[in-house]
Structure 1
Amino acid sequence: MTTGEAVSREAPISAINTTPLIDVMLVLLIMFVITIPVATQSIQVDLPAGMTEHTVQPLQNTITLGVDGTIRWNGHAVDKGELAKLLYGTTHLRAEPELRFRPDADAAYARTAEVLQTIKASGVTNFGFVDNERFRTFDR
């Protein structure tokens, strides 16, 4: 069915075929990518060869609790008041040192709880128990 207008078959088509244009552009793009020189610049960086003898260790303080209830700060006997002052002083350092708590296996539970309460009240945040692996097995 026709709508009334006759289509002339002899009139030239005004649309441009873009397929060959796209093909040529893709070939040129591939040729351009292939001819780009490989980056040969490098930056020399001196990396450490291995561990040195002098490695920096973080500050550590150790609290031990003996069988007789003696509290020791880094090996020196202190009482509960001195311990609180020492702990308070460590919380105000630029980098808070690691606090290690090492109670004896036969230390009184009540005394251990007192020391832990003092540590908690001081506001220490970098705290841990050490040498717990020796309590893995029980004597039968």
Structure 2
Amino acid sequence: MAGIFAIAAALVLLTYGITPHVLTVALPLPGPHEAGPLSPPVNRLILRENGALLWNGEPVSDRDLALILDQHAQIEPRPVLLFTPDAKASYARVLEVLGMVRSKDLVDRCFRFSEISRYRHYDRPATFDTPAPAPARSESCSPLLKLD
């Protein structure tokens, strides 16, 4: 009896095969005209509670930031500049950093405050679980698809 069940099971496996747990998708191969970065460049300027600055996660001084902002202004199309001040950062320090960005003429369509959606609702506690919506595209800076 066991032999009959073994033969029946083997026939069923041969007929239907073993289904892999894989979803295969055939994607087109990129041509020479499609070469380029897979995601748009985005630069993040973060101001910590203690007044320290981070450029794309790396600590920088005020002098270094001025040089970086000069280089940032020369890139075409201009990458998006996301400014993320810590909620407990000094207001004077935030204004100082914004003044540095403004002095380089970078407060334009490509300048955005990051993570402001968490302060949108005043009637309930802020949750950081909902992602921020992607900002609208603009003509003068590289397109921004999704940030967070």
Return the TM-score normalized by structure 1: 0.57
Q: 1:68 aligns with which of 50, 55, 75?
A: 50
**By how many angstroms is 1:94 displaced?**
2.4
Which of these two proteins has the greater Rg computed from alpha carbons?
Answer: 1
Gapped regions of structure 1 (runs ≥ 5): 1-48
What's the C-alpha RMSD, in Å, of the aligned pairs?
Answer: 2.5
**By how many angstroms is 1:50 displaced?**
8.3
**By how many angstroms is 1:110 displaced?**
0.3
Per-residue Cα deviation, 1:43-98 (whole angstroms, up to 9, x for no partner): xxxxxx9899x983211100001111111000111111111110110111222111
Percent sequence identity is 32
Tell me the number of residue pairs that the alignment of Structure 1 and Structure 2 aligns: 90
Gapped regions of structure 2 (runs ≥ 5): 1-25, 30-35, 126-148
Distance 1:80 1:50, change over 3 A: same
Return the TM-score normalized by structure 2: 0.54
Runs of 4+ in 1 over 6 A off after TM superposition: 49-52
- Hey, what does 1:120 align to over in structure 2? 102
Amino acid at match of 2:46: T
Secondary structure of 1:86 counterpart: helix
Amino acid at match of 1:120: R
**By how many angstroms is 1:99 displaced?**
0.3
- Hey, what does 1:131 align to over in structure 2? 115
